[in-house]
Amino acid sequence: MNELTRSDEMSLAGAALRGAPWKAAAISGGVVAATSLFMGWILPGPADLTWALCVGIGLFSLVAGIGAISRPQEGDRVTRQARLWSLRHPWRFALYPGLGAALLMYPVQLVVDGEGVFGAAWDALWGGALVYLITGILTLSMRGRAKG
């Protein structure tokens, strides 16, 4: 059996993510970010815009990643095959929502939080690693849907 290249895996993950519920992901991420910021204002202690934005980005990535593969039998043939591949290879698939989250968190850490280049990268990588771990575990638990 032929081994897939990293480029092939990226294409499959991208095809699976093509059918992600982007609107639901954006709404849930935005609501959680706004709620986190609001809670920071009403509870003791300072409100942290960076934390709120990064939590929202993390949830956005999780909802998009898990939502993309939650219905593997829907969509066109390419999307279905990509979703089935994602369910059969949960840790490889989870890499892409994790990387996406880290890439979105980096400018937030750099600009909003005012961290240096390396500090922002470190914090964004940790946030992406958390999204990777949660997405991988949830995808692993959904493997039973990969029939076909």
Tell me the per-residue pLDDT of 120-130, one tens digit each, with 9 for 90 and over. 999 999 999 99
- Across the range 31-45, mean pLDDT stands at 90
Q: Is the pLDDT of residue 1 over 60?
A: no
What's the pTM? 0.89
pLDDT band at residue 52, thresholds of 50, 70 and 90? very high
Report yes or no on 128 lying in a domain: yes
How many residues does this entry show for the chain?
148
The total number of structural domains in the chain stands at 1
74-118 tens-digit pLDDT: 888 888 888 888 999 999 999 999 999 999 999 999 999 888 899
When pLDDT is cut at 50, 70 and 90, the band that residue 147 belongs to is low
Q: What backbone torsions phi and psi does residue 93 show, to the nearest 5 degrees?
A: -65, -45
Q: Is residue 1 part of a domain?
A: no
In a domain, 68, yes or no: yes
How confident is the model at residue 3, as a pLDDT?
78
53 occurs within a structural domain: yes
Position 44 in a domain: yes
Decide if pLDDT at 144 tops 80: no
Distance, CA of 118 to CA of 110 (rounded, Å):
9
Query: In which domain, by residue range, is 10 found?
Result: 6-145
